[in-house]
Amino acid sequence: MSVPNKHKHLTREQREAIEEMLNFSCSFKHIASQIDKDPTTVSKEVKRNSVIVPQRGDLACANVKTCALRLSSATRQCPKDCSAYSVPFCSQLKKAPFVCNGCTEKAKCRLQKAYYRAKDAQADYKLNLSASRQGINLDAEVFGSLNAVISAGVKKGQAPAHIIHTQGDSIPVSERTVYRYFEENLFSVCNIDLPRKVRYKPRKKAKPKQCLKKVLASRDYIAFQEYIAKHPDTHVVETDTVYGSTKTTLLTFHFCNAGFMLTRLIPDRTDNSVNREIDKLQQLLAATPGAKRFEDIFSLLLADNGKEFEDTLYIETGAKQTQRTKLFYCDPYSSFQKPHVEKNHEHIRQILPKGVTFDNLTQADVDIMMSHINSYSRDSLNGKTPYEIFSFFYGEATAQALGIVLIDPKTVTLKSALLRKS
C-alpha cells in the first residue's frame, strides 16, 4: 500500500473516483485506499460538497404519529398550514456515507435527498481556492506596517525583492504576495513606481557603432571561450561604457563572480582616456595597504568592439610593457555575449536616465552611486549584496580602495534624487 499523499488537494480525477465508488455503496475506507487518501479526507469531502435535492410533493409531517395537535383534534387530522410541521428526513443520511448515491430505494423515495457530484465539487473547489487568495489576509495594523516599509523602499528606487531580503523581519508575507498587493493597488505606491514593472516602447534602431576593423583571432570571442575552458577558475570582468548627452562617459567594470560593478568617470570615449583610467586603477590599488593588486582582480577583461578599447597591447601591459591583464573582444553587435554588465547598466539608468549630461558629475558622485548599487541585494546572490560577495573574494580594503562603501540597506536609493545637488 502506498503512503498517503498528505497535504495535497484532491484532484478532479480523485473526485470522479469518489463519486463512482459512492454509486456502488463503497465504504470511505475502501474509497480512501483507492485514491491514496485518508478516510477522514474522503468523509469531509463528501459532507462538504453534498448537493441537496428537495422532496417530491407534499409529504406527511415527520411527527405525524406523535403530534399532540393532531391527536387532540376531533378529526385526528393535521391542521392546514400547521406551524409545527416538520419536514420528513431520511435517517440514513445521518450516518456514512451521508449521501444517496448508492441507495437502492432512491428511485421511489420521495424524501429530501443528498448526492455527491464530482463536477459540482470540483467547481466549488476552484471557486473557493480563487476566493481564498483575494484581498488581504492581515489585520489593519500589520498591513499598515507592511505598507510603510514597502512604500518607503520603493520611493527610494528599491525593488520588493531587495526590501524583503534586507528587512524580512518586518514583512510577514512572501515576495509573490507583495507583488499581488501591487497588482491589486493596495499599497500607497503603485506598479508604475517599481523600477522594472513598466515596459517602455521598443527602441529605435541606432546607427551602427564604430567597430574595430579587425580583431586578432587570438583575442576574439571564440578565443575567449577556449581560454575559459582551459582556465575555468578565471574571474571574468566585463567592461563597457555608458554614454551621457555630451562627451563625458562612464567606464564600467562588472565582476561576474560577485555581481559587483566599478564605474569610473572619463572625459571622452577615446582609447587614451580608457588607458589612463586603467593606469589610475592600477596605481590606486598598489598604493592602498591590504588591497589586492590590479593583476589579481582584473586578470581577464571582456570588452566590445568599441574604439575606446582598441589599444589591446596597452590595456594588457601598460606603459611598463608588463602583463597585467588579458583582453578579449565580443563579436560585433553582440552585446548578449557580455550580458552581466549590460544588465547592471539598468541600475545606473535608474539614477542617470538617458539624455542627461555627466558633465556636472565628479568621481566622488559616481562612487556614491555605485556604493548604493553595490549595496542593493540580488536574488541571484541569494539575497546578498555585490559588496558582500566582492569583499569575500578580494577583501573589504580592496572595495574601499576603489571608492565603494557599504550602504545601510534601508537607505539604499536608486533614484535620480540620489545625486541631485542643491
Arithmetic mean of pLDDT, 72-76: 61
pLDDT at residue 111, rounded to an integer = 83
Distances (CA, A) of 229 to 113, 325, 327: 74, 18, 16
Sign, CA torsion 199/200/202/203: negative
pTM of the model: 0.64
Q: Sheet containing 236-243: which strands, arranged edge to edge?
A: 260-266, 249-255, 236-243, 300-303, 326-329
Instruction: Copy the grid coordinates of residue 217.
Output: 583571432
Nearest to 235 by CA among 394, 374, 379: 394
Q: Are 257 and 296 in contact (CB under 8 A)?
A: no
Q: Which residue has the cell 420528513?
A: 88
pLDDT at residue 420, rounded to an integer = 79
Return the higher-pLDDT residue of 147 and 388.
Answer: 388
Arithmetic mean of pLDDT, 255-264: 95
Determine the Cα–Cα distance for residues 265 and 363; give it in Å rounded to an integer. 6
Nearest to 35 by CA among 127, 118, 104, 101: 118
pLDDT at residue 1, rounded to an integer = 45
With 70 as the cut, is the pLDDT of residue 19 above it?
A: yes
Helix, strand, coil fractions of the chain, as percent rounded to 5: 45, 10, 45
β-sheet bridge partners, residue 282 = none
Reduced to 3 states (helix: H, G, I; strand: E, B; else coil), residue 249 is strand
Sign, CA torsion 198/201/204/208: positive
With 80 as the cut, is the pLDDT of residue 329 above it?
A: yes
Nearest to 266 by CA among 365, 146, 354, 362: 362
Return the higher-pLDDT residue of 108 and 32.
Answer: 32
Cis preceding-peptide flag for 97 (omega within 30 of 0): yes
pLDDT at residue 349, rounded to an integer = 93
Instruction: Copy the grid coordinates of residue 210.
Output: 564604430
230 CB contacts (<8 Å, ≥6 apart)? none
129 CB contacts (<8 Å, ≥6 apart)? 9
Arithmetic mean of pLDDT, 90-116: 86
With 90 as the cut, is the pLDDT of residue 242 above it?
A: yes
For the chain, the C-alpha Rg in angstroms (whole number) is 36
Q: Strands 50-53 and 236-243: what pairing?
A: unpaired
With 70 as the cut, is the pLDDT of residue 211 above it?
A: no
With 50 as the cut, is the pLDDT of residue 205 above it?
A: yes
Q: Are 283 and 392 in contact (CB under 8 A)?
A: no
Residue type, 56: R
Worst-scoring range by mean pLDDT, 164-178, 185-199, 340-354?
185-199
The pLDDT tens digits of the residues spanning 93-102 come to: 888 889 999 8
Cis preceding-peptide flag for 409 (omega within 30 of 0): no
With 70 as the cut, is the pLDDT of residue 79 above it?
A: no
Arithmetic mean of pLDDT, 23-28: 92
Instruction: Copy the grid coordinates of residue 312.
Output: 589591446
* 131: phi then psi, degrees, rounded to nearest 5: -65, -35
Residue type, 391: S
In CATH terms, the superfamily for domain 217-419 is: Ribonuclease H-like superfamily/Ribonuclease H (3.30.420.10)
Q: Which ranges in 68-117 belong to alpha helices (H)?
A: 68-72
The pLDDT tens digits of the residues spanning 343-395 come to: 999 999 999 999 999 999 999 999 999 999 999 999 889 999 999 999 999 99
Arithmetic mean of pLDDT, 267-295: 94
Reduced to 3 states (helix: H, G, I; strand: E, B; else coil), residue 263 is strand
Instruction: Copy the grid coordinates of residue 198.
Output: 513598466
pLDDT band at 249 (very low <50, low <70, confident <90, very high): very high
Q: Tell me the average pLDDT of the chain.
A: 86
Q: Are 225 and 339 in contact (CB under 8 A)?
A: no
Determine the Cα–Cα distance for residues 246 and 418; give it in Å rounded to an integer. 21
pLDDT at residue 39, rounded to an integer = 92
